Amino acid sequence: MLEHFCECYFDLSGPILCPVLGSITLLFIPNSSIRLIRLIGLCVSLITFLYPLVPRIQFDPSTAKSQFVESLRWLPYENIHLYMGIDGLSLFFVILTTFLIPICISVGWSGMRSFGKEYITAFLIREFLMIAVSCMLDPLLFYVLSESVPIPMFIIIGVWGSRQRKIKAAYQFFLYTLLGSVFMLLAILLILLQTGTTDLQILLTTEFSERRQILLWIAFFASFAVKVPMVPVHIWLPEAHVEAPTAGS
C-alpha cells in the first residue's frame, strides 16, 4: 500500500514546485502581517522537507541509474529537454537542502524586523533552485540553475548582512562565482557541439578523445575550484561568510 502511495503521489516536481508556490502565496500577504509570513514560510519549508522522505523509502540502492526520472520538452529543436532524476548522491543532497531551509528560517525568526516577506521569499527561491540543481540531468540546465542560486544569496548578504562591508562582500561573492563558471559554460557548449545533445544519460555512453577529455576536465575543474572554493581562488568565501546573516552563512 505504501509503495502504491509513493508511485501515485510522488514525483520530483513536488519538492521543486512547493517553494515556488509558497513564494507566490507570500506575494498576496501584506508586509504588516509578519507573523503570518513567518508561519507560511516555515510551513512551506517543512512540507518541502517531508516530501523527499517518500522516495527515500522507495529508492532502490542496488542500481546506479537515475530514478524518478521526468522529462519535459524545453528546446526540442536544440535537443535540450528539462530532464530530471535522482541517484543515491543527489537524493541526500535534496534531503539535506530541505532539512537546512527550515533551520535557516527559524534562525532568522526574531531578526526579520525589516523586509520580512522578502527574506522568506529569498530563502524559498534559493531552496527551489538548489533542489532543481540536484535533480537536473541536463548539464546546460544544471549550469543555468546553478548560476541562478547566487542571485538570492547576493540579496541575502547585501540586504540582511550584519556589517559595513556587506555590499562589497555580496558583489565579490556574485562576481567571483559568475566569472569562474564561464569555463563550465564553454565546456558544456563544446559538448553540445560535438554530441548534439546535453542529455546526461546519453553523454555517459559517449566517447571523447583523450585530448578533449583533458580540456573539458580543466574547464570544469577551474569552475568548481572557484565555487568550492579552493586556494588561491577562495578570497570571496571569508568575506561572504563574515558579512552574511547567520542563516545566509
pLDDT of residue 11: 67
User: pLDDT (tens digit, 9 = 90+) per residue, 195-221?
Assistant: 888 878 788 888 888 999 999 999 999
Distance between CA atoms of 158 and 151, rounded to whole angstroms? 11
In sequence order, what are the residues at sequence separation of 6 or more whose Cβ sits closer than 8 angstroms to the Cβ of residue 48? 15, 18, 19, 22, 98, 101, 127, 131
In a domain, 4, yes or no: no
Distance between CA atoms of 107 and 70, rounded to whole angstroms? 34
Q: What is the 3-state secondary structure (H, E, C) of the chain?
A: CHHHHHHHHCCCHHHHHHHHHHHHHHHCCCCCCHHHHHHHHHHHHHHHHHCCHHHHHHCCCCCCCCEEEEEEEEEHHHCEEEEEEECHHHHHHHHHHHHHHHHHHHHCCCCCCCCHHHHHHHHHHHHHHHHHHHHECCHHHHHHHHHHCHHHHHHHHHHHCCCCCHHHHHHHHHHHHHHHCHHHHHHHHHHHHHHCCCCHHHHCCCCCCHHHHHHHHHHHHHHHHHHCCCCCCCCHHHHHHHHCCCCCC
Looking at the fold, whether 188 and 241 belong to one and the same domain comes out as yes
Looking at the fold, whether 104 and 204 belong to one and the same domain comes out as no
Assign residue 79 a region (left: φ > 0; alpha: ψ between -120 and 50; beta: otherwise): left
Residue with the three cell numbers 548534439:
196
Judged against a pLDDT cut of 60, whether residue 27 lies above it is answered with yes
Which band of pLDDT confidence, cut at 50, 70 and 90, is reported for residue 44? Answer: very high
pTM score above 0.75? yes
Which band of pLDDT confidence, cut at 50, 70 and 90, is reported for residue 2? Answer: very low
Residue 34, domain extent: 10-137
pLDDT of residue 137: 86
User: pLDDT (tens digit, 9 = 90+) per residue, 97-135?
Assistant: 999 999 988 887 766 667 788 889 999 999 999 999 988
For residue 184 the three cell numbers come to 563550465
Looking at the fold, whether 213 and 110 belong to one and the same domain comes out as no
In a domain, 152, yes or no: no
In sequence order, what are the residues at sequence separation of 6 or more whose Cβ sits closer than 8 angstroms to the Cβ of residue 115? 159, 160
In a domain, 156, yes or no: no
pLDDT of residue 128: 92
Looking at the fold, whether 83 and 197 belong to one and the same domain comes out as no
In a domain, 54, yes or no: yes
* Percentage of the chain lying above the pLDDT 90 cut: 19
In a domain, 153, yes or no: no
